[in-house]
């Protein structure tokens, strides 16, 4: 690549294959379309948007709606093109070449991608053998390495592991390092375990509309923190970050967030049901607090899943195969269960 910077020559572009058929359980998306009442109101208001004009670069109506939901000030909120873009902005704002970023392993792959983009060095603290968080080890490694940035996902992607608010506070109080707490899946865990209302100087909490709210196609996320930290992120963001249509629809979603409670409850029920079903098949599966399951994978099951055009996310962790399976509709979940059962019960 003739014009690409030397330090980026070995980077592999991120590609996610568009899937048009089969059962799609690979991206932690919601199996449900947006509620009709929200879509009807969106269509009604759409004609009022002047698409010949740039969108509100301050995302005023959406910031106000988010701040009202959490009973905070709009100045404590910022929005991005998915929470990924906010991770990018934070790292761009804070990371110099050879700065250390501490996270766990395995976790969301984009943390490493963004860190390397700005010359940072990723330091990975392993999860326990059962993929749970080792809080004492994380704290010890933070104290030992004194990272510039700590990035933690709660619940964790791809394992579904979770931390309590007590553990989060323990980690925060152990360091002056800036901490990103990625809560993309918190709605499937417990809002009482969220760090969203802590407002500690060295904490930025990230959320997304992609998972619990089923708005992955809108690419919208938000960060909540102190006024100073929000200003830091906004300093780095490009102008007109969020388009007018996404802003409107996200505002309608957050104002009507109660419409999603039943869907969230469904995902949690199905997750618990499927966990028990796979456990009864002696599948090596782990407790998850997200909208997906994390399990051991073997060649036979993998091939059978592929043959049935069921799409899951596959991982190789320490030379062992694992997979992350999104919770879909009952019909989709049962079909996958049937396929896996056929491999176990010979």
Q: What is the pLDDT of residue 8?
A: 85
Is the backbone of residue 98 left (phi > 0), alpha (psi -120 to 50) or beta?
Answer: left
CB contact at 8 A, 114 and 99: no
Other C-beta atoms closer than 10 Å to the C-beta of 169 total: 15
CB contact at 8 A, 222 and 80: yes
Q: What is the pLDDT of residue 52?
A: 96
CA-closest candidate to residue 38, choices 191, 214, 265: 214
Distance CA(303)–CA(345), nearest Å, equals: 16
Helix (H) or strand (E) holding 128: none
Instruction: State the burial class of residue 135 (Cβ atoms within 10 Å of its Cβ: 0-12, 13-18, 19+).
Output: middle
Helix boundaries (H) for the chain: 36-46, 60-70, 82-94, 110-117, 135-145, 165-173, 227-236, 244-255, 261-280, 299-307, 330-344
Residue 258 CB contacts under 8 Å (≥ 6 apart), including other chains: none
Q: What is the pLDDT of residue 11?
A: 83
**Maximum Cα interatomic distance, the chain, rounded to a whole number of Å:** 63
Residue 210 CB contacts under 8 Å (≥ 6 apart), including other chains: 28, 29, 82, 184, 216, 218, 219, 220, 221
Per-residue pLDDT of the chain (346 residues), as tens digits, is 888 888 888 888 887 788 878 999 999 999 999 999 999 999 999 999 999 999 999 999 999 999 999 999 999 999 999 999 999 999 999 999 999 999 999 999 999 999 999 999 999 999 999 999 999 999 999 999 999 999 999 999 999 999 999 999 999 999 999 999 999 999 999 999 999 999 999 999 999 999 999 999 999 999 999 999 999 999 999 999 999 999 999 999 999 999 999 999 999 999 999 999 999 999 999 999 999 999 999 999 999 999 999 999 999 999 999 999 999 999 999 999 999 999 986 5
CA-closest candidate to residue 206, choices 87, 336, 319: 87
| Strand 149-153 to 100-105 pairing | parallel
Q: What is the pLDDT of residue 2?
A: 84
Other C-beta atoms closer than 10 Å to the C-beta of 43 total: 9
Q: What angle do CA 59, 61, 62 make, to 5 degrees?
A: 70
Q: What is the pLDDT of residue 328?
A: 98
Please, what are the domains in the chain?
Answer: 19-33+260-344 (3.90.1150.10), 36-255 (3.40.640.10)
Predicted TM-score (pTM) of the model is: 0.96
Q: What is the pLDDT of residue 345?
A: 65
Distance CA(158)–CA(176), nearest Å, equals: 27
pLDDT tens-digit map of 53-84: 999 999 999 999 999 999 999 999 999 999 99
Distance CA(278)–CA(229), nearest Å, equals: 43
**Which two tokens mark 328?**
């879909």
| Strand 320-326 to 292-296 pairing | antiparallel
**Which two tokens mark 199?**
């407002």
CB contact at 8 A, 336 and 25: yes
Helix (H, G, I), strand (E, B) or coil at 130: coil
Q: State how far the alpha carbon of 36 is from the alpha carbons of 32, 33, 260, 261, in Å.
A: 11, 8, 12, 15
3-state helix, strand, coil in the chain (%, to 5): 45, 15, 40
Instruction: State the burial class of residue 159 (Cβ atoms within 10 Å of its Cβ: 0-12, 13-18, 19+).
Output: buried
Q: What is the pLDDT of residue 248?
A: 98
């Amino acid at each position: 690549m003739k014009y690409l910077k030397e330090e980026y020559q070995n980077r592999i572009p991120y590609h996610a294959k568009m899937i048009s058929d089969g059962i799609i359980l690979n991206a932690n998306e919601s199996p449900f379309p947006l509620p009709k009442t929200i879509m009807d109101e969106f269509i009604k208001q759409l004609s009022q948007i002047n698409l010949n004009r740039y969108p509100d670069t301050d995302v005023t109506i959406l910031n106000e709606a988010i701040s009202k939901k959490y009973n905070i000030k709009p100045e404590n909120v910022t929005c991005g093109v998915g929470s990924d873009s906010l991770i990018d902005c934070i790292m761009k704002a804070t990371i110099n070449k050879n700065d250390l970023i501490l996270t766990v392993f395995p976790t969301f792959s984009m943390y490493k991608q963004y860190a390397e983009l700005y010359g940072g060095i990723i330091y990975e603290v392993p999860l326990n053998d059962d993929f749970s968080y080792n809080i004492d080890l994380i704290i010890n490694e933070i104290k030992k390495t004194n990272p510039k940035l700590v990035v933690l996902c709660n619940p964790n992607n791809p394992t579904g592991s979770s931390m309590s608010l007590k553990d989060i506070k323990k980690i925060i109080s152990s360091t002056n390092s800036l901490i990103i707490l990625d809560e993309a899946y918190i709605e499937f865990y417990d809002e009482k375990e969220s760090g969203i209302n802590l407002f500690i100087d060295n904490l930025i909490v990230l959320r997304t509309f992609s998972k619990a709210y089923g708005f992955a196609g809108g690419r919208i996320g938000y960060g909540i923190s102190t006024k100073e930290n929000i200003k830091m992120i906004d300093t780095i963001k490009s102008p007109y970050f969020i388009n007018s249509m996404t802003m409107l629809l996200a505002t309608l979603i957050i104002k009507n967030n109660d419409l999603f409670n039943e869907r969230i409850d469904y995902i949690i029920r199905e997750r618990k049901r499927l966990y028990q079903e796979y456990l009864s098949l002696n599948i090596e599966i782990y407790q998850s607090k997200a909208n997906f399951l994390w399990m051991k994978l073997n060649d036979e099951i993998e091939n059978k899943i592929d043959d049935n055009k069921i799409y899951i996310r596959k991982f190789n962790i320490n030379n062992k195969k694992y997979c992350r399976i999104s919770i879909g509709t009952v019909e989709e979940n049962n079909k996958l269960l049937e396929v896996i059962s056929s491999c176990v019960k010979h």
